[in-house]
Amino acid sequence: MWADFKAFALKGNVLDLAVAVVVGSAFGKIVTSLVENIITPLASVLGSGVDFTNLTYTVRNVDVLYGEFLQSVFDFAVISVSIFIFIRLVGKVRREEDSKKTPKPDEKEKLLSEIHDLLKNGNQQKAKKKMVVNVGTRKDREE
């Protein structure tokens, strides 16, 4: 039984998942800190104090803390936008790196590509032309 568990636990997928959970947890802390310490204070300056946590509604001596819910929705929206912007920036950097890595074709490759395109277009035009059959009279055929 121990051998089966060891074989399962040391599979590549399980180890990858464990690493992803640890890295995701650390990334979650970074994003939470970004939202709580940078974005929310800046938004409160722009929005005249964005803090919904004190909003309550009392129903028969019971406080409904809908402000906490609104604050969670706001935090979610800010986190989502922040992650979206981060992913867009990372994608842009990757595309720039990939464009630098791809070698530019030399003159011979350009010429071969042009020849290939010309031959391809020429074959397509020949296929489009109709075959003309000269049909004459019986007398023409006998001569």
The residues spanned by each domain of the chain are 2-107
First to last CA, the chain: 97
Tokens of 124: 């397509």
Task: Report the CATH fold assignment for 2-107.
Answer: 1.10.1200
Q: What letter would DSSP give residue 97?
A: H
Chain segment 45-104, per-residue pLDDT in tens: 776 666 778 888 889 899 898 988 888 888 788 778 877 888 898 899 888 887 777 777
Model confidence at 138, pLDDT cuts 50, 70, 90, reads low
pTM over 0.95: no
